[in-house]
Every structure is written in structure tokens, then in C-alpha cells.
Amino acid sequence: GVGTFPLLSVYSASKTFLKHWSIMLSHELRKDNIQVTCYNIYYVCTKMSKIKKPTFTAPSPTNFVKAAMCVAG
């Protein structure tokens, strides 16, 4: 995403691509009054992150989705 992640180049590149693609898509769809939101998160408590317990800075997937859906219209 914002920085580089050693040994995770494809993952990092994918996050960066999605961020920039979302910005460009947002510009294209603005005239149709369509808002594009890209959540560029860091950690979520999952097996991939190896974080065992949810915290404020690394929420559970369920809590993250609930919070994200509060913003969605």
C-alpha cells in the first residue's frame, strides 16, 4: 500500500494498484454522482496477519466490515 513490504511485493503492488485505480475510477464516475471508496487498511486480525486477538488497531474481520458498512451509502 503506502510503504513496501519485504517478501510481499505482489501483495504490496496490488494494494497500490487498487488505491490508484480507485482514485481514477472516482474521477471518471464523479459526473454520474457515483462515489468510489477504497479502504486501504493495514492490519486485520486474521491468520495471514498472524495477529491472534483483535485490538483497536487490528480489528476482527467482522468488526471491520461493520464499521466500513456504516460509511457506505
User: From the CB of residue 15, how many other CB atoms can be counted at a distance below 10 Å?
Assistant: 19
- pLDDT value at residue 11: 81
What confidence score (pLDDT) does residue 18 get?
Answer: 93
**Sole residue written with cell 471491520:** 64
Per residue in 9-47, pLDDT tens? 888 888 889 999 999 999 999 999 999 999 888 888 988
pLDDT of residue 42: 81
Give one DSSP letter per residue of the chain, joined into a string.
Answer: --S--TT-HHHHHHHHHHHHHHHHHHHHHGGGT-----------SSTTTT--S--SSS--HHHHHHHHHHH--
Q: What mean pLDDT comes out for the span 43-72?
A: 89
Q: What pLDDT score was predicted for residue 7?
A: 73
Quick one: pLDDT at residue 49?
Answer: 83
Q: Mean pLDDT over residues 64-71, rounded? A: 88
- Which active-site residues does the annotation give? 11, 15
